[in-house]
Structure 1
Amino acid sequence: MSNILIVEDEAIIRTALRKLLERHKYTVNEASSVKEATTKYKLTNFELIISDLRLPGGPGTDLIQLAGDIPVLIMTSYASLRSAVDSMRMGAVDYIAKPFDHDEMLASVRRAIGKANAAAKALSKSKSSSQAIAGMIGNSQVMKTLYNRIHKVAPTDATVLVHGETGTGKELAAKAIHQESPRAQNPLISVNCAAIPETLIESELFGHEKGAFTGADSHREGLIAAADGGTLFLDEIGELPLEAQARLLRVLQEGEVRPIGSIESQKVDVRLVAATHRDLRKLSDEGRFRQDLYFRINVLQLNLPPLRERGKDVVALAEHMLGRYCESFKKPLLRLSPEAIQAITTYTWPGNVREMENAIQRSVILCEDESEISHDLLGIDLDLVEIDDPTDLKIIQSTLQARKPSQEPAEDLSLEDYFQRFVLEHQDTMSETELARKLGVSRKCLWERRQRLGIPRKKANQQAAK
C-alpha cells in the first residue's frame, strides 16, 4: 500500500483529494504548507508527494529539493504554460491543473509511483554489479549497464569485441577488463592496427626470424607472444589486412603463434580484446573482413555509448576534466559558466570524450578569468548542430497534427503536451536560445526535455524567422 503526502492549504481540496486516494487504497497524510510538511513528517517515508504550487510561506516546488528522490506532483489553479515549465525545470514528476479530473489525477499518481518503484528496484538490483570502473566517469543508466557487463565478462577468458564511435573510451574498457581478470598480474599489450603500416603489421604481431625478409637483421618476438599469460588488445581490428587476419584466426583456434620465416610454432595463452568503430558484420559480408574471424571474436560484445546519449554524465565528465586540467596547469579551480554548461549539454560531440577533452584543455589554457570558463573558449558552434534525419521530425509532426485539434490547447494539457506542442510549432523559426527563452528554461533543460520526449533538434530556418 503506497503512502502519499498531500500538501495543500485549502482544506476542502485537501480533504477531497485525500478521500479520492483513500478510496483507491492509498495511505494518505496531509499538511497545509511546506514548513508543516517538513516539520511534521519525514519526507523520505512517502512514495509520492502531491503539492499545490502556491502555498503560504513558500512554493510547493521547494519540496522537490527537500524530498530528494521522492517524486513530487505539482497542482495549481493558476494553469499556464509558464507555471508548467517552471515546475518541469524544478524537477516535478508531473503537473496537473485545478480543478483536476479524478481519472487524470489517479492515472498520474499510478504513473509516478510506478516509475519510482521501478527505478528503486533497478537501482537495488544493479547496485553491486554496476559499480563504476576506474578511469570511466559517468552514472547514467547506459554507463551502469556497461559497468555491469564489464564486471561479468572480466573474470572469464572469453574474447570480447568492444564497439563504439571514435573517442568513446574503448581502450579504457579493455584496460578495465584486464585489470578485473585473473590475468591482471600479467601484461596487457595494446596494438593500434590502424597505426602500423600494412607491410609491418604481421611482423609486429607475430614476430620474425633473422633473415625472414629484407631488414630482418635479428630474431624478434611478436606482440602476441609478448602478451603470453596476459591480454592482447587489438584496437581498430577492422583495419587488419586479410593475411594478418588469417594468422590471427590460427592463434585463436590453436593457441599457438608461428613467427614469419620460422617452421616451428610456439604455444601462447592470450586473451583477446578487440575494438572497432566499424560494422564488422557488414565488412565481412563485403569480403573486407574474414567472416570466420568475425564469428570467432564476436563472443561477447560491449557497446560503448556516444557522449550524446549519456545525459547528465556530460556535465559531470566536463567538470572532472576541468578540475584535472586546472591542477595540471597549476591554475585556480575554475568553474563552467551557465552558458558554457548549456553549450556542453546541447552540442552533440561527434568526437565524443576525446573531443570534449580537447575543448576543456584548450579552454583552461586560454582562460584569462580566474573564476570561470566562458562559452566562447569552448569553441562550440551550436548553430551547426542539426538533426541527423529530417524525416524523424516529419513523422513526429504528422503524428501530432493527427492527434491534436487545430484550436488552442485546453488549459488542462499535460506537461509533455505543453512542451511538445510549443517546440514543434516554433522550432522551424526559432533558434534553441530563443525557444529556451520563450519557455523560460535554460538550453540545458530544453535539451534534456527533447531527449526525454524524443523530439529531434532541427536547425532554425533563418529565412522563415525573418
Structure 2
Amino acid sequence: MTTHTVLIVDDEPDIRDLLEITLSRMGINTLTAPDVGTARTLLQEHSPQLCLTDMNLPDGNGIELVQWIQQHAPATPVAVITAYGNMETAIESLKAGAFDFVSKPVELPRLRELVSSALKLSEPALAPDTTDDEPGLLLGNSQEIKRLRNQVRKLARSQAPVFISGESGSGKELVARMIHLQGPRRDAPFVAVNCGAIPSELMESEFFGHKKGSFTGATDNKDGLFRSADGGTLFLDEVADLPLAMQVKLLRAIQEKAVRPVGETKEFPVDIRVLSATHKDLPALVQNGDFRQDLFYRINVIELAVPALRDRPDDVKLLANHILGRIAREYECEPATLTAEAIARLQAYNFPGNVRELENILERAFTLCDAELIGENDLHMGNAPIIADSRSSADADEARNNGGASNVPEGEMDLEGYLETIERTAIEKALEATRWNKTAAAKRLGISFRALRYRLKKLGME
C-alpha cells in the first residue's frame, strides 16, 4: 500500500499540530513548514502528493505559494485554508490554480473529504502527462480541439467551479463529462440537469429534494439532484434559464455545501463539484439584472469556451465517420461511407446547430440513402428535413377518398406519438402484405431497405 505525504504550511503551531494529528489518523505522512520559503524547499526535496497552506504567512501568502507550485511542482495539488466567510479570497485561490479550499475553523470531516479527493490525483490514471492527447469524448485533430482537451485535463485536477460557454449543439455537456471522468470524482455520480426543462414550481424539490407529505403529491422522500450527485459532479446546463428566486437558493446551497429538502427542518451536507453552461450571454444577463451577479461570480470561477464546429472544419470528416459508425452499430446496419463531394459539402457548411446538427443531417442521410454511399444530394443540408412517405398505397387511397384528411385527434395531442402510430401501422401492413419480406416491404413503402431497418429498430418492431 502506497503511503502518501502531505505538506502542511501554517505559521500557527496549534493549527499544524491539529492537521498533523488528523492526517496521521488517516495513515498519511506529514511534513510541516511555518513559511513560504521553507515550504518551497520541502516541495523540491520531497515532492509531496498534496500541499495544505494557510493564506497569511510571515514571508508571503497562500496564493503566491499556489502560483509557485503551478510553475515548479504542477503535479502537486494545493489546497488553501482561508478565513471564515472570505469567499473572495477562496475564489482568488481557485483562479490561481488551487485544487480546493477549506475555511477556518477547519471542519475535520470536510478536511478529510478534501484530502481523500486530492490524493486520488496521484493515481496513475490521473497523473499529468504532457504528451498524452487521448481524445476521449472530444474528437478532433484541429488546434482548437487540442487546446480544449488540454484545458479540460488541467481543470479536471481542480475542484474549482467551471462555467462552460458555447453555442447550442457545440458539445458543452461532453466537455463537462470529460472534466468529471478525468478528475478524482470519476467513480462518483455525474448528474446533468437542464435548468430550462424544470417547471419553476418544482425546481426546489428537484434540486434539493423533499420530505414525504411536505406537499400534495409528495408520497415518498426524495433526495433531489444535489444529494444524488453527492461525492461527484453536478452539471447545470442552461443555467441562465433559472428564475431569480431559485438563483438565490442555488447560491446558498453552493456556498454552504448543504441543502434543506422541502418540508425538512435540518440541512444535509453535500460534497459536489458544480459545472455549469449556457449558450446565452451570461454577463449581459447580469448587466440587465436577469441573473444574479453573486451567483455568476460563484459559478464562473474559471470560464471554458467550446469552439463552434464552423471554427474547426478539418474535424468534420473525423466526426462524421464516427457518427455514422455509431448509427450503424445502434441500428445494427451496415456502415455507410461519405463520398468526397459529401465531405466537401459538409466542410463548407456553416453549421449553425454545430455537432448536434451534423448528427441530425447524417442520421437522416443514413436512413434515406439507397446504397452504402452517402452522396452530396443525400445530405439535404440547409433544407427542411425530407420525410419519406411511409404510408402504404391503401392508406394513401383512403386519405384521398377523405379529401386528404386523416383521423387527427381534437384538442391537445402527442404529435410524436401520433406520428409513430401512423408509421407503425403502415409498416405492419406492408410487412403483412409481403409475408414479412423486409426487402419487398421496403419497396412497397417507397423507402430503402436501410431506412426500413432503421425504422424497425427505432420503433422496437424487430
Q: TM (normalized to structure 1)?
A: 0.53
Whether 1:190 aligns to 2:192 is yes
C-alpha change, 1:282 and 1:140, in structure 2 (3 Å) is same
- Counterparts of 2:220 and 2:325, CA distance in 1: 48
- Indicate the residue corresponding to 1:292 in structure 2: 294
SS in 1 for 2:197: coil
> Aligned residue for 1:267?
269
Deviates more, 1:152-161 or 1:337-346: 337-346
* CA displacement at 1:311 relative to structure 2: 2.5
Residues 132 and 144, structure 1, Cα contact 8 Å, conserved in 2? no
Secondary structure at the aligned position of 1:220 is classed as coil
1:356-383 deviation line (CA, Å, top 9, x unaligned): 011111111111113x11112111149x
Give deviations 1:272-310, integer Å, cap 9, x for gaps: 011111111111111111110000011111111111001
Runs of 4+ in 1 over 4 A off after TM superposition: none
Asked if the contact 1:336–1:374 (Cα under 8 Å) also holds between the matched residues in 2, the reply is: yes
Residue 139 and residue 258 in structure 1: after superposition, are their counterparts in 2 closer, same or farther (change >3 A)? same
Task: Report the residue type matching 1:140 in the other structure.
Answer: S
Amino acid at match of 2:221: H
Secondary structure, aligned partner of 2:212: coil
Contact 1:228 1:270 in 2 (8 A): yes
Q: Aligned residue for 2:203? A: 201
Deviation at 1:184, TM superposition (A): 1.0
The 8 Å contact of residues 130 and 148 in structure 1, kept in 2 or not, is answered as no
Residue 68 of structure 2 aligns with which residue? none
Aligned partner of 2:216 in structure 1 is 214
Deviations 1:58-82 (CA, angstroms, capped at 9, x unpaired): xxxxxxxxxxxxxxxxxxxxxxxxx
Which letter maps to 1:376? N
CA contact (8 A) 1:209 1:216 kept: yes
Report the Cα offset of residue 133 of structure 1: 3.2
1:242-271 Cα deviation digits (max 9, x unpaired): 121111111111111111222211111111
Given that 2:313 and 2:348 are in contact with CA atoms closer than 8 Å, whether structure 1 keeps it comes out as no
Question: Within 1, Cα distance between the matches of 2:245 and 2:341?
Answer: 52
Equivalenced residue count is: 256
The equivalent residue for 1:446 is none
**Alignment match, 1:354:** 356
Deviations 1:111-169 (A, max 9, x none): xxxxxxxxxxxxxxx99266133122101011011001100010111111111111111
Alignment of 1:34-433 (within 5 A): 128=130, 131-370=133-372, 372-381=373-382
Q: Is the 8 A contact 1:206 1:221 kept in 2?
A: yes
Distance in 1 separating the partners of 2:193 and 2:132: 28
Letter in 2 for 1:360: L
Distance 2:304 2:160 in 1: 12
Deviations 1:294-346 (A, max 9, x none): 00011111111111001300121112212322343344343212221121011
Q: Which amino acid aligns with 2:147?
A: T
Instruction: Determine helix, strand or coil for the equivalent of 1:199.
Output: helix
**1:380-400 deviation digits (Å, cap 9, x = unpaired):** 149xxxxxxxxxxxxxxxxxx
Q: 1:281 and 1:181 mapped to 2: Cα distance?
A: 28
Give the Cα separation in 1 of the matches to 2:291 and 2:263: 25
CA offsets 1:62-108 (integer angstroms, 9 cap, x no match): xxxxxxxxxxxxxxxxxxxxxxxxxxxxxxxxxxxxxxxxxxxxxxx
* Aligned-partner SS, 1:233: strand
Q: 1:194 aligns to what SS in structure 2?
A: helix
Please name the residue that 1:74 is paired with: none
Question: 1:161·1:298 contact (CA, 8 Å) conserved in 2?
Answer: yes
Give the conservation status (yes or no) of the 8 Å contact 1:363–1:377: yes
The letter of the residue matching 1:272 is V
* Cα distance change on mapping 1:129 and 1:206 into 2, 3 Å: farther
Segments of structure 2 that go 5 or more residues without pairing to the other structure are 1-127, 384-462
8 Å CA contact 1:210, 1:217 repeated in 2: yes
Q: CA–CA distance in 2 between the matches of 1:327 and 1:218?
A: 40
Bigger relative contact order (CA 8 A; separation at least 6): 1
Match of 1:50 in 2: none
| Structure 1 unmatched runs, 5+ | 1-125, 383-466
Task: Give the letter for the 2:215 counterpart.
Answer: F
State the SS of the aligned residue for 2:275.
Answer: strand
